Amino acid sequence: MKAVIMAGGKGTRLRPLTDEIPKPLVPIIDKPVMAHIIELLKRHGIEEIACTLGYRADQIIDRFGDGSDYGVRLTYFVEKEPLGTAGSVKNAKAFLDEDFVVISGDAYTDLDLTRAIRYHYAKHSPFTIVSTPCKNPAGFGVAETDHDGKLIAFVEKPDDPRPALINCGIYIADRSILDRIPDGFYDFGRQLIPNLCGEAYCYVTFDYWSDIGTLPSYYYTNYLVAATPAYAAT
């Protein structure tokens, strides 16, 4: 199992924090959020990691190098132009010669990734979406599943959201899923996932997860982790 960290976004919702540094380098307490992600992958036995980069890519490469400081091997794929979330993963196709995990570069979580991977294989799923219940899913992709966890409907950032399962931006994929992603710009939430209804599954987690993509969520996550050791991902 390999992994891809999607770390190419500009992080406009985190300005002014991201005026000078890319979003994966914003700190959660004492280290960049991307360091927490790498350590999570390492704890679950994933050491071959691709990083898809765009905005201020050089800073990320300078900070993490080849990954040896973390006991992993990092391979970088820098986009010349934005490719979207799914398109950026397709751009790393040469690296992805086996099944893989995809994780957003702005996710802070203590997810039991090993358990999620076991679920993925138990369901013989081509693509598994890590999801979590949310009372106010505004701004997130919303999933509906059948009794067995199979995805039956998906809407990216609905206009009138109600309590639902939301997409955590973490996926487990069979390598064959790359054949479903065309070259060029392509998005997971708006294009690929809706096309996988009836095939993909949702793994529902109650582990701690936070999208730090906005200033309120970023500051709240730092406060929560500092105040509550149980929420510390490492």
Residue 51: predicted pLDDT: 98
Q: Token digits for 142?
A: 């919303």
Residue 11: predicted pLDDT: 63
DSSP 3-state of 154: strand
Amino acid (1-letter code) at residue 168: C
State the pTM of this model.
0.93
DSSP state of 208: -
Distance CA 134, CA 165 (A): 6
Q: Which of 10, 123, 150, 157 is catalytic?
A: 157
Residue 15: predicted pLDDT: 78
DSSP 3-state of 200: coil
Residue 231: predicted pLDDT: 55
Q: What domains, with CATH codes, occur in the chain?
A: 2-231 (3.90.550.10)
The residues, ordered by sequence, that sit 6+ positions from 80 with a Cβ below 8 Å of its Cβ are none
Q: What DSSP line would sit under 23-71, residue for residue?
A: GGGSEETTEEHHHHHHHHHHHTT--EEEEEE-TTHHHHHHHHTTSGGGT
DSSP 3-state of 188: helix
Residue 159: predicted pLDDT: 81
Distance CA 101, CA 120 (A): 11
Residue 233: predicted pLDDT: 53
157 is catalytic: yes
Residue 130: predicted pLDDT: 98
Distance CA 77, CA 106 (A): 18
Closest CA to 83 of 181, 159, 168: 181
Can you give the three-state secondary structure of 89-130, one letter per residue?
HHCCCCCCCCCEEEEECCEEECCCHHHHHHHHHHCCCCEEEE
Tens of pLDDT, residue by residue, the chain (234 residues): 999 999 987 767 767 777 778 888 988 888 999 999 999 999 999 999 999 998 889 999 999 999 999 999 999 999 989 999 999 999 999 999 999 999 998 889 999 999 999 999 999 999 999 999 998 887 889 999 999 999 999 999 888 778 899 999 999 999 999 999 999 999 999 999 999 999 999 999 999 998 887 888 888 888 888 887 655 555
Whether omega before 194 lies within 30 degrees of 0, making that bond cis, reads: no
DSSP state of 181: S
Closest CA to 115 of 193, 48, 196, 45: 45
Count, residues in the chain: 234
Given the DSSP bridges, would you call strands 100-104 and 2-7 parallel, antiparallel or unpaired?
Answer: parallel
